[in-house]
Structure 1
Amino acid sequence: MAGANKNVSLSGLYGDLNKHGANGDYDRALKVCNRRKPLKPWHFLSGHVLTCFIVIVAVLHEFPDEEKAFQCKLVCLIQTSKFQEAIQALGKSQKFSGEFPFEKAYCQYRLNQPKEALDTIDSAGSLDQKLKELKAQVLYRLEDYEACFDVYRDLIKSNADDFEDERETNLAAVVANLSIEGTKRDLPTLRESTYELLYNSACRLLGTGQVLEAEKKLKQSEKMCRESLEEEGSTEEDIEDELSIVKVQLAFCLHKMGREKEAQVIYNRALKQKPDDIALVAITSNNLAVLNREGNLFDSKKRLKSATVDGLEHKLTQRQRRAIAVNQCLLAALTGQAEQCAAMCDKVAKQYASTKEELVLVRATALARDGKVADAGKLLNDESKQAPKRRLELQLAAVQMHLAEGDTKAACDILKNMGDSTFSPGIVSALVTLYLASSDRKSASTVLKDAVEWYRKNKTGSQSSLSMLWRKAADFHLRGGEPQVAARSLEELLKINPSDMKTLAQLVIAYAQFDPKKAQELSKKLPPVGELAQDTDIDALETSSWVMGTKVMKKVTAKVEASPMTGENLLRKKRRKRPGKLPKNYIAGATPDPERWLPRYERSGYKKKKDRRVKEQLKGSQGTAYGASEQFDMSARVPAAKSSPQTPATPDQGPRSYQKKQTKKKKGKGGKW
């Protein structure tokens, strides 16, 4: 009878909890589970989103060792997002602490503990499909894209169900990240049947630097996304919210192509929609701050503040977080906060070791803006010794800072002490230019001599760069009166291209200045003059302006005019020169008017016209002007002592000579001069 009563009570609880599970009322089901032990078989539909359906739940204290009952309690906790309580329940249970690896790993994954979740999955031994799905998601969160790619590839090969498109979309995201990281493995070509797959394909193209192709894919993805959502009956707000990530990525493509104004419009439009995705807001704000550069630092500060809110460490990749952190340091340097910039750089360098050399440039920029150029140069020089891979970059940055301050000597000293890099064509050219700008031709000549000797001993570098170096050095030394040094450069140049007659001719000229016998021997290798001048017009060459000066040109043209006239020359001589036009009233032999070049109003016989704006004075009946009675009315006159001078309405000398006298007022409280 006792067993029968237990079965009856168990059946009743099954019915109650099945009703709660079917209605999705997991809170009430959890209350029942807390009263008694649960019994629940359940099913997982995908590894990304945990979906479980409660079929039957039995909760009784009389069944403490019921495995499925405990599993049902974990499902209820997961469905109500009480992940920490689920882990605690597993920890408190003596029997089931090592059981249910999927539930435990999923709770750890949702609590942003991917490393612990991966350890839990690996401890499970053999992995079924749901554990493989979850492991792929955990590896993606850990940014272990190589291992994640292998897991997804096995899942796609071994499973064919309704979630095939979702798996392939996730695989496309993994492939895109591998392309960005520059993987060497062969990546498969995936389908582009959905807008998500098109979006990931565009990201993959961006990773390989194919920006134009990525732009086309993103536009196709945007169009396909809108069409598919409109068919589903989504609202315009939902469509724009879904399209926001595609549009921001499209703006990034435009940003990379230099179309910054178009990118800025899209970025601002995306932020005005106020998306719920904090990762999207952070990336958009960071990119807008990059577009501002040094123009609007206040706006950049506000943007980067939006890019560093809480919770982003689990939403952004390490690459994205590193870029935002470096931009924060750079903003502190641009705003003149040298001490704060140094502290931020130290913090970021400890967190992201790969940014150490990059942050050195940021700290040097902050010091230079603070007026400490010498300290900035010393910092770059010290760091260049510890980072041999970026030594050249750091040293050139120090050179740029010294040149910006006008310290040419310090810049040249750094360029001369760069080891073998000093003899690269670019550095040699920079040194020669700087020395010539400082009127130090001797040092420039020494630099070229050392470069020639170094390349003669080491024989490294491409032929094109070496040819250019030998040529420039030879020309420089020939102009500077050093034919022996020039001959060495020309000999090396002739070894590269023995058939170059121009180089051979220059070498003959150089040897002619200090070794005539050698010059004569080399001149025999030159082709005869007849072969060189076979297709040359001597007359045109003699009359060309770039060969002879202006005086010689006049003599040559005179000879040409004095030559026998035939054809066009004869016609030119017959043409007569027309006499110039004379005035209509011209009298031959008359003396010209000496005032003929003066303006009419400055000539002596010029009569001024009457100003119509001045009214004529009307005369009265007795011959006196109207108003003259007031002039002769002595009673109406004011005494001279009380009279005051009047300011003229217009100045006598014209508006340019008239200047109003300004008196300085005393500066009072809150006033101006």
Structure 2
Amino acid sequence: MVAQSLSSLLERASIDDHEEVLKSCNETLKKSKTDSTAQYIKVIALLKLDRYEDALRVLEAGGDALKKQAGLEHAYALYKCARWDEALTAITQASASRGASHLEAQVSYRAEHFRRAADIYEKLSQDREGSRYEEHDLSINSWATDAQLQWKGESEHVRHQRPSREDLEAFETAYNAACLKIAKGEFPQAEVLLNRAKNICETSEDLSPEDRAAELLPIAVQYLYVLIRQGKTEEAESLLAQISVDNISELSTKRIARNNIVLARQTEVNPYLLYKSLHETPEAVNNDRLFGFQDNTLLGNSHAADLLVQKYDGMIRSTAKGLSKSSYPSAEASTNLLSVYNAAGHAQGQAGPKGLKQILPLLERRPKDLGLLLTVVQLYVSVGNTTSAITAVERSLRALEESISETDQEARFNPGLLSVLVSLYQLEGRKLQIRTILAQAASFWRNKPEAPAGLLRAAAKSLLRSDAPSDLATAGDLFKSLYQKDSSDRIAIAGYVASQATLDYSQVESQLDHLPAIGDLVSGVDISALESAGIAPSASSSAAAAAAFAGARKRSAADKEDRSTKRVRKSRLPKDFDPAKKPDPERWLPLRDRSSYRPKGKKGKQRAADRTQGGPVSEKQEESAPQPQQQKASGEAMLRRIRRRASGRCGLDWARCILLIK
């Protein structure tokens, strides 16, 4: 009976008549609710009709047996309902096939597991027999995955660098290659590729007019963004006429288009109209949802509009609601962005000391909030208070250090946070602190499976500058681990050789062949051109060079006169100071010792004449002049008086007073 019903069902089935297949399945299931074959075909018919929620309900009613039979269909229905983690679990339980690998890569892409998706696409491409008819699709998807990896900050895993001739023959691959260039910030190259994609799409004979218009819209939106970033406002304005936002069916593309159009119009706009424009398009859901980096950018623009219309309380409430669902500390960009705008709401758009006054109490209550911490650091640096910025970071790191949570420890040694702290240390010249914090981070990450290579490399370079054998040994171990992960890393090889050469040269002698020869490195250097450009030769090159170097250290009188004088603060200058007037060079001498001094009166003139060198000497003065014995006696009496006064009254050191008298 089941076989007959199945045969009649298949006879009435066709590619375009899924409704009839669904009706036949329902009729069969009325007679036998446990007919697994009818249930399976019904699931397929519902998927063909884009009724994914209904398909999941049928699969749930059928139990584990039906889910196992329709493993691939179950995973696809979960994927279309944006239940990506469940979809990945269902794929692993389904039978292994090439179709399952394609679906796993697509689900991983939407779940933003881009490295996993890239690995799957590379594995599929290596199967030459299986990918004979899929090369074009695999190329499109792998380019898109690399663009997402670049946007997510995982550039070391990007496989594509430059599009091939075959990539430039299809508008999809040219468009995705342009997206990768945009992610890298290479906007002129992206503009060329977008022009290429647009021309291919406009002249394609495989697309209907409706499909051509649908494909050109996202290209135009992306092109508009590239023009804005390059400051080509006139070209952006002319492109706006070609973009009809109302004709865009995908909500995600529509939101991005509206955002770019608002930014392209640089004229002064009423902030309330700007706020309305940015919130006019509803948020996309399910598989049309924005990716993380897109959502963060649009959320930032939305909150910036909130600040313009002074919706401080509303922004504080909305960001606080989002932060309540997150855990501290978090390295996620979305969570830290909420912290930044929550702080901006409390500061009511104020920066500098006024903004810090409102935000610092928040950091005392939430010391593990990295987004809030970085906001405080930025405000301190903007007013030139680097020391307070360092203190704030160190206080938060101590709070993380006291925790036993593994998440807190990972946040404490987060590469981005440590790079901020190292930069602050560099501004104040704290080399020892830099070496210490990088060594601690290296000891934490070196045994982790996902150790950040950039952080380990920076720590090894810092330890390499130390003279301690223990630091050099640690640097050698770090460089060795980096080389084991990537044998083509010449920096790791050179660092390992440099760290171990002074400790045990025999261990690194075999590694020297992997490094380029010094002659090859300097073969293209024009020494004469460098010297003519002002590069001083080595002091040991010749005796003449050494002499010239020694002589160059001396300054002539003209050089001393040309030196810039020390700047004097305005508060220390006299009120009638005139910078255009040359000051009196004798202004530091007593008045009677200046050349311009002219005594007044008979007594003054007499004293001036007596002080004149080579002038007449009065006999009375010679007679009244004290003899040496008298001078000695009077001097000893003066010393006794100074000792009595110093020890009895002021408590000063009498020896110091003697020196002053002499």
Coarse TM-score class (shorter-chain normalised): 0.5 to 0.7
Partner deviation per Cα, 1:416-465 (whole Å, 9 max, x = no partner): 745599xxxxxxxxxxxxxxxxxxxxxxxxxxxxx9xx8699899xxxxx
The Cα of 1:67 is off from its aligned counterpart by 5.2
Alignment-derived partner of residue 377 in structure 1: 356
Q: Is the 8 Å Cα contact of residues 323 and 335 (structure 2) preserved in structure 1?
A: yes
TM (normalized to structure 2)? 0.52
The Cα of 1:249 is off from its aligned counterpart by 0.8
Q: CA 1:81/1:457 → structure 2, altered by over 3 Å: closer, same or farther?
A: closer
Alignment-derived partner of residue 98 in structure 2: 129
Partner deviation per Cα, 1:309-358 (whole Å, 9 max, x = no partner): 35277421011112222222221111112111212332444568424555
- Quick one: which amino acid aligns to residue 78 of structure 2? Q
Alignment-derived partner of residue 203 in structure 2: 227
**Partners in 2 of 1:356 and 1:382 — Cα distance?**
19
Alignment-derived partner of residue 93 in structure 1: 62
- Quick one: which amino acid aligns to residue 212 of structure 1? P
TM (normalized to structure 1)? 0.52
Alignment-derived partner of residue 233 in structure 2: 260
Alignment-derived partner of residue 154 in structure 1: 123
**Partners in 1 of 2:104 and 2:26 — Cα distance?**
30
Alignment-derived partner of residue 83 in structure 1: 52
**Partners in 1 of 2:310 and 2:273 — Cα distance?**
16
**Partners in 2 of 1:372 and 1:197 — Cα distance?**
45
Partner deviation per Cα, 1:58-91 (whole Å, 9 max, x = no partner): x974xx8765444223222222333333333333
- Quick one: which amino acid aligns to residue 296 of structure 1? N
Task: Give the 5 Å matches for 1:508-547.
Answer: none
Q: Is the 8 Å Cα contact of residues 226 and 239 (structure 1) preserved in structure 2?
A: yes
Alignment-derived partner of residue 298 in structure 2: 324
Q: 1:105 aligns with which of 75, 89, 100?
A: 75
Alignment-derived partner of residue 278 in structure 2: 304
Q: CA 1:307/1:319 → structure 2, altered by over 3 Å: closer, same or farther?
A: farther
Q: Secondary structure at the match of 2:66?
A: coil
Q: 2:14 aligns with which of 1, 12, 22?
A: 22
Q: Secondary structure at the match of 2:244?
A: helix
**Partners in 1 of 2:340 and 2:147 — Cα distance?**
30
The Cα of 1:378 is off from its aligned counterpart by 1.9
The Cα of 1:397 is off from its aligned counterpart by 3.1
The Cα of 1:119 is off from its aligned counterpart by 0.9
**Partners in 2 of 1:178 and 1:233 — Cα distance?**
30
Q: 1:144 aligns with which of 102, 113, 130?
A: 113
Q: Identity over the aligned pairs, expressed in percent?
A: 20
Partner deviation per Cα, 1:639-667 (whole Å, 9 max, x = no partner): xxxxxxxxxxxxxxxxxxxxxxxxxxxxx
Q: CA 1:121/1:419 → structure 2, altered by over 3 Å: closer, same or farther?
A: closer
**Partners in 1 of 2:324 and 2:556 — Cα distance?**
60
Q: CA 1:20/1:325 → structure 2, altered by over 3 Å: closer, same or farther?
A: same
Q: CA 1:73/1:267 → structure 2, altered by over 3 Å: closer, same or farther?
A: same
**Partners in 1 of 2:256 and 2:551 — Cα distance?**
59
- Quick one: which amino acid aligns to residue 294 of structure 2? Q
Partner deviation per Cα, 1:161-218 (whole Å, 9 max, x = no partner): 4333122211111111112223213514554131000001111111112111111011
CA RMSD for the aligned pairs? 4.3
Q: Secondary structure at the match of 1:22?
A: coil
Is the aligned partner of 1:36 residue 2:10? no
Q: Secondary structure at the match of 1:143?
A: coil
Q: Is the 8 Å Cα contact of residues 202 and 214 (structure 1) preserved in structure 2?
A: yes
- Segments of 5+ residues of structure 1 without an aligned counterpart are 1-5, 38-58, 401-410, 422-450, 461-496, 514-546, 550-673
Q: Is the 8 Å Cα contact of residues 21 and 29 (structure 1) preserved in structure 2?
A: yes
- Quick one: which amino acid aligns to residue 36 of structure 1? T
Compare CA radii of gyration and give the structure with the larger one.
1
**Partners in 2 of 1:249 and 1:506 — Cα distance?**
62
Partner deviation per Cα, 1:351-391 (whole Å, 9 max, x = no partner): 68424555555455545557898662224445678478996
Q: Is the 8 Å Cα contact of residues 329 and 345 (structure 1) preserved in structure 2?
A: no
Q: CA 1:399/1:75 → structure 2, altered by over 3 Å: closer, same or farther?
A: closer
Q: 2:138 aligns with which of 162, 167, 178?
A: 167
- Segments of 5+ residues of structure 2 without an aligned counterpart are 327-331, 393-424, 435-548, 566-579, 583-662
Query: Which structure is higher in helix share?
Result: 2
Q: Is the 8 Å Cα contact of residues 176 and 201 (structure 1) preserved in structure 2?
A: yes
Q: Secondary structure at the match of 2:203?
A: helix
**Partners in 2 of 1:389 and 1:348 — Cα distance?**
13
Alignment-derived partner of residue 85 in structure 2: 115
**Partners in 1 of 2:78 and 2:310 — Cα distance?**
43
Q: CA 1:254/1:459 → structure 2, altered by over 3 Å: closer, same or farther?
A: same
Q: Is the 8 Å Cα contact of residues 245 and 258 (structure 2) preserved in structure 1?
A: no
Q: 1:343 aligns with which of 313, 317, 320?
A: 317
Q: Secondary structure at the match of 2:82?
A: coil
Q: Is the 8 Å Cα contact of residues 360 and 383 (structure 1) preserved in structure 2?
A: no
**Partners in 1 of 2:175 and 2:72 — Cα distance?**
31
Is the aligned partner of 1:213 residue 2:189? yes
Task: Give the 5 Å matches for 1:271-420.
Answer: 271-272=244-245, 274-291=247-264, 295-311=269-285, 314-349=288-323, 353-355=332-334, 358-359=337-338, 361-363=340-342, 365-366=344-345, 376-381=355-360, 386=367, 394-397=376-379, 414=385, 417-418=388-389
Q: CA 1:504/1:73 → structure 2, altered by over 3 Å: closer, same or farther?
A: farther
- Quick one: which amino acid aligns to residue 21 of structure 1? A
Q: Is the 8 Å Cα contact of residues 296 and 333 (structure 2) preserved in structure 1?
A: no
